[in-house]
Amino acid sequence: MAVRPILIAGDPRLTTRATPVTTFDAELAAFVDDLFEANTAANGAGLAANQVGDGRAVFVYDLVDDSVRHRGHVVNPVLETSSLPETMPDPDDDLEGCLSVPGEWYPTGRAHWSRVTGTTVTGRPVTVEATGYLARCLQHETDHLAGHLYLERLIGRNQRAARRMIKDRNWTRPGRTWLLG
């Protein structure tokens, strides 16, 4: 296993739609292990393949929500959600971060409930249904695979603050990465 560097906002690979996985083999299983390793090293809740520069439609998650640990992966995920809130996100309860936007947190509107269907690395069907933090994570990671960063979901002053941050940090050019340690 290897801890892979994580791409930072501004890299076009983060805004490219993932390609469906068609080969379920030992290499895919090893890659998912690498995603878990990188996610753990970065203290993340989830990590999508394109965040480490791989174009395949797969993500991992490993988080604690309401004292319960949720850990797994989904290949070729399809997302369903309840309706999105139409109000300004709560600055305390709706904070969201991203390993590709290191050190930043912004209130982000997400659906209360979500379900992801897809397969495992062996091609077996899998369904993950959730509310709360896990539901937010599932939405966040499937957004990545659709080529979207959570910053695109920001509204109002949060959106303006994120745009300034991107410019101030010079995160407008490709190839920037970070690696824990």
Which amino acids are annotated catalytic? 141
31/13 Cα distance (integer angstroms): 17
What distances in angstroms separate CA 63 from CA 83, 101, 179, one per listed residue?
23, 18, 20
Pairing of strands 6-7, 68-81: unpaired
The DSSP secondary-structure symbol of 43 reads T
Residue 98 is assigned to a ligand binding site:
yes
Distances (CA, A) of 97 to 33, 94, 106, 117: 22, 10, 7, 24
137 is in an annotated binding site: no
> Which residues, listed in sequence order, are joined to residue 178 by a DSSP beta bridge?
6
Q: Which of 113, 115, 48 is nearest to 83 (CA)?
A: 113
60-to-63, 86, 92, 131, 148 alpha-carbon distances in Å: 10, 29, 26, 17, 17
Grouping H, G, I as helix, E, B as strand and the rest as coil, residue 124 is coil
Annotated binding site for Fe cation: 98, 140, 144
